[in-house]
Structure 1
Amino acid sequence: MDEELHERVREVIATVPPGKVATYGDIAAIAGAPSPRLVGRILAEDGADLPWHRVLRANGTPAPHLAHRQLELLRAEGVLADGQRVNLRTHRWQG
């Protein structure tokens, strides 16, 4: 992977403000990444220092293996979920 693209994706994720969320696809589009999956890979491999919890799937749900912790962190920022789904119309970041 291109190091410049990797850093661009990280920078975009870092700018998602508290109380807002973005989808993997949103991040990919803003950073110029070819795929939302690449964003997920970057977060999995190099995202511990980023606000990873603010990045959701396209349907507003968290990754299943992180759901409890992710929704807990979002709730602390005022982002409430209906069950396991965050309302993107209400909380989506328009970066």
Structure 2
Amino acid sequence: MSKEAVLELFQTMEKDSDLRERLTAIEDVAEVARIAESELGLNVTAEELTSAVASIENREGASPEGELNEEELEAVAGGWFDNWKFRVKSW
């Protein structure tokens, strides 16, 4: 799997609102990866999707000192946070 396949998945989701809604409704990132492979022919793993989302978040909101931004702090303070669904829905 390559970064290109993850990017292709995100671009496809951006263009196809039905697919985006369907995938972001799924709780399990591994299931999203399975659907990406079976329906779109993309070899994507859950780890790669999680890593890509984390990378996007770091580019968009990380503080220069490496401290948590407000959104990250709320996620940690409130317990488990489903970053995958939040990030994709906001595209």
User: TM-score surpassing 0.5?
Assistant: no
Higher helix proportion (structure 1 or 2): 2
Higher strand proportion (structure 1 or 2): 1
Q: TM-score, normalised by structure 1?
A: 0.35
| Greater radius of gyration (CA) | 2
Q: TM-score, normalised by structure 2?
A: 0.36
